[in-house]
Chain A
Amino acid sequence: MSILELQRVSKVYGEGDTEVDALTDIDLSVNRGSLVAIMGPSGSGKSTLLTIAGSLEEPTSGDVIIDGARVRGMSRNDKARLRRRTVGYVFQDFNLLAGLTAVENVSLPLELDGIPMKKARSKGMAALEGLGLADRAESYPDQLSGGERQRVAIARAVVGERSLLLADEPSGALDSVNGESVMRMILTACHGGVAAVVVTHDAKLASWADRVVFLRDGQAVDETLPPPSPEELLNPDVPKPSLS
């Protein structure tokens, strides 16, 4: 079942002389449990793709369908609810809200969705435990290392019944060991049934994906199906990637 579907999505920034075609006619479908990596040079439209896929921005043309619902025409409140319930983001360098502990950061989307504090908190704890971060639950963001922050952000992105994880260079600011552990976590989330789209520059990390989309000047130039990784071979539960 397709969690995210982009249909001929284009995005134009500015107008007249300063017009930039950030994305041109992008089609993409991501199924439950699958991991799609996006690669491409700087300025090729990767971030734009993610923000549009996550309803943070409107495409100039084309349609975005998240979990069966068409984003176009939704009210701001409906989009906010969609983000609370379905979409989780992880950004490169700024994710956690200062002033809230790790567990409060993780349970925040649940509370924003009307789940009482205690219950949201216990769900947040569970998510942190699942990612091996239980001991950091009461730490504030500035007491966490870069890798820990990204992992807390992933926990927040998947907490509750979220089904779509969008990560924009989540390991971009991390060393290779930490970067790998972050990717591994995203993969774990996918194994749990989450559909993930991850922007990365690291070919090795991209190779873990079910599919890699290459962008150049806003256009998808290549889509590859990487060979099955050792993990996939070991884990027959992972759904086989499919090209739409």
Chain B
Amino acid sequence: MTDVLDRIDRRPPDGGMPARRAVTRWAWRLLRREWRQQLLILLLITIAIAVTTVGVGVSTNTPLSTYVGFGTAHDLGTFQNNSATTTQKIDSWRALYGRLDVIDNEAVTVPGSVNTFDLRSQNPNGPYGKPLLTLVAGHFPKSASQVAVTSGVASLFNLHVGSVWHATGVARTVVGVVENPLNLLDEFALVLPGQVANPTNVTVLFDATRLAKGTSNVITPADVSKGNLLNPQTISIVLVTMTMLLIALVSIAGFTVLAQRRLRSIGMLGALGATDKDIRLVVRANGVFVGLIGALVGFVIGFVAWLAYRPTLESSAHHVVGALQLPWIVIVVAMALAVAATYFASTRPARAMTRISLVAALAGRPAAPKQLRRSAVPGIIFGVAAFFLLGVAGARGGNGGSGSLAIVLGFVTLTVAVVLLAPFLLTVLNRFSRSAPLAIRMAMRDLARYRARSGAALGAISVGVLIAMVVIIASAARFGNVLDYAGPNMASTQMIIYTSNGPYGPGGPGNAGAGNGAPAKSIATMALDAHSIAHDLGSHSVVTLENTSATLQHAAPGRSFSGPVFVATPQLLKAFGIKQSSIGPTTDVLTMRPGFAAITQMQLVYGNYFSGSKGGPITGPTAWPCPKIDCLANPSIQQMPSLPAGTSTPNTIVTEYAVHHLGLQPITAGWLIQTPVPLSAAQLSGARATAAADGMSIETKSTIPTSATIIDWATLAGILLALGILAMSIGLIRSETAGDLRILSATGASSRTRRSLTAATAGALALIGAVVGTLAAYLAMIGFSRTSALDGLHSLTSVPVANLLMILVAMPIVATVVAWIAAWRDPKGISGQVV
């Protein structure tokens, strides 16, 4: 007997590790059996992690082109020459900031071409510029008579390692092939430092903890992104945060349903002597497993997609991208967050499991729904706080540091407000349904009385709609901006062939020295080739696009004008069916951009306007009204809806009247080709090869989604998510009042009543989720835009009505109908399988 006691007493009082292990094993087996019931949660996590993996991979490997030149430096200084003052200044910087990387560039024109390349001197092992230079073949130059070239320069001059090259005035032996891995378009010839005699650009890379006053020729990556409100980084932080909150909410709803389904099993576990801790562990282990599986599967899918996309990325980003060149920390943190979200989501249902009596659990009797009498005040406080936090974010441009923090905090606060406030609308709906038929009235009364029960599901639906609506409103606002025109894209039957004078060539608008076009002969050749490309594509519509130095400028805070400004030649007008007589005699500009004509403080700038001012990228407001030289304030702008809508197409053009009275010089910028059928990839690459041979470039429909695509997908995702959450939890929400239903059936109510009850419940939840989510999204966007200098409140006026109706009207109707159809089954089935 003492032996038995001894043995017993050596066992841990709460079962210890063996018990934990047994319970965890059972939880894992249950998950394997019942993963379908958690599919929505698994899918959400999988998609979130997969998208995060690919998204951060792409975004970190696609630096804004302006970042490229920084290497690993924090500051980038530029000089236009290597005069004594320049040398003096560089020396003073060296004294101030320590290590420097000096890169000399001299632009060299390729004979007989408008193309240039750089003669460059750069230390291959420079402290900051190292990432900007790698060796492909041979070695770096070691003496003044050696040079290494990029493959582009090599093919241009037909060079190979060992050839002697005279092009730069000095005879040099080619000893290596090099490239700028961060910018494969960067064509240069590398020589030893000191060999660039007349640099046109001296770049100095360094890290300044604190920049000395009065240094105007130094920029940092932050300066570069300053004009770029809501940079991708901030957007992804906000999206990841919101997605994690959504996953947590959906998981709470899902795990509550799951715990309900497993009620009897868990009761049995308790009857077998499991402690409360073990019982909670069943639910929590499930949460962790779901999070882990979703995160791992999502990562694998994301990684495979990344590997598949990498070659495309390399060619579009024009730099080498390693297979493992992913921001691993971000990915690991996202995965950990997903697991944490599901774990914390499981703790509430887990605690609820140990609060109901074992006997009730064994009988499959859920705890009676709790009546909730909570004040709306905390929710309102959170809502107001979110509004102001987002206002702070708007004022800071939502950019870096405190701006991103404010925007993330704002959205988290908003989510809390939504989850707290959504249930109150159930009360409102109940009040409205006083005179509805019995079943609807019952459904509304139950929803209102037992708000706690449907809280997680309703919160999840609302937050899902909120995310979708923010995406919808933000893209509608962004794409609805007529100044910084962002869409729609060119059609798949359109192609523009640009000469080097085009808007993106060296002679394009906004660039100094406009008008130094290529020789006429060259233009003629290009025209000939452009027409032959068009002919090969079966096109009969080739519109010559002409360019002047003129572009438009908005001399006020906010977004600035973007897009090419072509000339309204008779041929172009004819191509789009515009009669000369429909143009006002003194109209300067024609545009299809709706509302553009009404914008004040516009100015048409041309000639030496840019080179006359301080130079460099122009951001922010400029002087108003502008000096009369090379600038026309308040040009007469006329709306012309029949112009094409594509971002790169002639959607905004200067009239011949303006060309004459401003004395502009039109030059051929390119050709707009309309093809009878969408262009194939083979046709495109053929055309590209032909064009490249002439130094021309081609633009076609890009893969960047248009606003309509983004908005439609966001709408669809929001609706599917809401319906998925409803499908997952509606059974539970009704099952808890299954007793009522049975009484109803006993008193002779038909299955029709039961179906009406379920349908009304689903419809009400969907409607309130949609309304709350939409209102919250507008609250967020108004809060943000209210203070935003770039996109003011007026940017919210472009409302995507059809999408709003889809979410606010169609989605609740679908929920109601589907619930009606699906409710023929007895809701009792949910109380757990009997074994």
Contacts and interface: CB of A to CB of B under 8 A. Distances in A.
A142 B29 CA distance: 14
Contacts of B278: 112
B16 A97 contact: no
B95 interface: no
Given A95-B835, A98-B30, A54 B271 contact: yes
B359 A117 contact: no
A120 B18 contact: yes
A111 B15 contact: yes
A125 to B, nearest CB: 16
Given A56-B358, A142-B835, A115 B30 contact: no
Given A56-B358, A99-B33, A117 B21 contact: yes
A57 interface: yes
B268 A94 contact: yes
B11 A115 contact: yes
A82 B13 CA distance: 11
Contacts of A74: none
B264 interface: yes
B8 interface: yes
Given A77-B13, A100-B29, A115-B11, A149 B273 contact: no
B271 A56 contact: yes
A106 B213 CA distance: 80
A1 B269 CA distance: 29
Contacts of B18: 111-117, 120
Interface residues of A, number: 38
Interface string B261-275: 000110011111111
B835 A149 contact: yes
Contacts of B23: 112
Interface string A143-161: 0000001000000100001
Given A77-B14, A111-B19, A112-B19, 9 more contacts: A56-B270, A56-B271, A76-B276, A77-B13, A80-B273, A85-B8, A98-B833, A99-B29, A117-B18
B362 interface: yes
Interface of B: 4, 8, 11-19, 21-23, 26, 29-30, 32-33, 264-265, 268-276, 278, 357-359, 362, 833-835
A64 interface: no
Interface in A124-173: 141-142, 149, 156, 161
Given A100-B26, A112-B278, A117-B18, A51 B359 contact: yes
B168 to A, nearest CB: 76
B271 A83 contact: yes
Contacts of B275: 76-77, 80-81, 112
B835 A94 contact: yes
B360 to A, nearest CB: 10
Interface string A39-73: 00000000000010010110000000000000000
B271 A97 contact: no
B822 to A, nearest CB: 25
Q: Is the interface of B mostly helix, strand, loop or mixed?
A: helix
A108 B835 contact: no
A116 B15 CA distance: 10
Contacts of A115: 11, 18
Contact of B4 (A98, A113, A161): A161
Contact of A84 (B15, B276, B835): B15
B589 to A, nearest CB: 72
Contact of B270 (A80, A91, A100): A80
Nearest to B22: A111
28 contacts: A56-B271, A57-B358, A76-B276, A77-B14, A80-B270, A80-B274, A89-B272, A94-B268, A94-B835, A97-B26, A97-B835, A98-B833, A99-B29, A100-B26, A109-B272, A109-B273, A111-B19, A111-B21, A112-B18, A112-B23, A112-B278, A113-B15, A113-B19, A114-B14, A114-B18, A117-B21, A117-B22, A120-B22
A84 B273 contact: yes
Contacts of A94: 264, 268, 362, 834-835
A4 interface: no
A36 interface: no
A23 interface: no
A185 to B, nearest CB: 19
Nearest to A105: B272
A112 B22 contact: yes
A103 interface: no
A114 B7 CA distance: 11
Contacts of A81: 13-14, 273, 275
Contacts of B22: 108, 111-112, 117, 120
A199 interface: no
A78 to B, nearest CB: 9
Contact of A89 (B32, B33, B271, B834): B271
A115 B12 CA distance: 9
A142 B833 CA distance: 10
A96 interface: yes
A80 B13 CA distance: 10
A93 interface: yes
Nearest to B361: A56
Contacts of B270: 56, 80
Nearest to B364: A94
A80 B269 CA distance: 10
A114 B273 contact: no
Contacts of B835: 94-98, 141-142, 149
B740 to A, nearest CB: 16
A71 to B, nearest CB: 13
A97 B265 contact: yes
B289 to A, nearest CB: 13
B784 to A, nearest CB: 49
Contact of B268 (A77, A80, A85, A95): A95
B269 to A, nearest CB: 7
Nearest to A87: B273
A66 to B, nearest CB: 12
Closest 9 CB pairs of A and B: A84-B273, A99-B29, A111-B22, A83-B273, A114-B11, A141-B835, A114-B12, A114-B16, A114-B15
A77 B273 CA distance: 9
B511 to A, nearest CB: 70
A98 B261 CA distance: 12
A197 B335 CA distance: 52
A142 B21 CA distance: 23
Contacts of A141: 835
Most A CB contacts (10 A, CB to CB) among B14, B276, B833 go to B14
